[in-house]
Amino acid sequence: MPWIAKFPGVPESAGAARQLIREALRDDPRTADAELIISELVTNAILHSKSGQGGSLWVEIRNLPTCVRIEVADEGGRDGLPAHRAPDELANFGRGLTLVDALADSWGAHNDGDELRCVWAELTSTAEERTQIQNNPPISQGV
């Protein structure tokens, strides 16, 4: 069962999304990486889409047997799909997708109609992690 939540396009939503992923994954060994990923994706949605201009964004977390899939949908923007850019070495920002790329086993983005954009990331699990997850299954609940 997926965990789905709608958040306002404000900076505090990144913290709320991290809390949601901790609840969804509980003792899953991928939780720390998933927290960083969701924080980056939510922050990017707020900074680079209409969601951060008084709009909303949606988070979906699927804890599947072989992977955790994180999706953040925003209200789109004039920039189209997100892309890597070379960060300014002196800047305090601009490394979000580089971090997502380093942590996630795969990630991507697509437009869902004229006004929605979805960025997703997946963290796969090793056989050892799957055994741990099976021994401590998460409780599914909606938000």
- Contacts with 132 (C-beta within 8 Å, 6 or more apart), sequence order: 27, 28, 29
Q: Which amino acid is at 20?
A: L
* Pairing label, strands 3-8, 67-74: unpaired
- The predicted structure's pLDDT at residue 1: 76
| pLDDT band with cut points at 50, 70 and 90 for residue 108 | very high
Q: What is the mean pLDDT of residues 6-17?
A: 97
Q: What 3-state DSSP class applies to 100? A: helix
CATH architecture assignment, domain 3-135 = 2-Layer Sandwich (3.30)
* pLDDT tens track for 23-81: 999 888 899 999 999 999 999 999 989 999 999 999 999 998 889 999 999 998 766 65
Instruction: Give which of 8, 53, 2 is closest to 24, Cα–Cα.
Output: 2
Kindly state the tokens that stand for 42.
């939510």
- The predicted structure's pLDDT at residue 135: 63
Domain ranges of the chain: 3-135
Q: Is the pLDDT of residue 130 over 90?
A: no
**In angstroms, how far apart are the furthest CA atoms of the chain?**
46
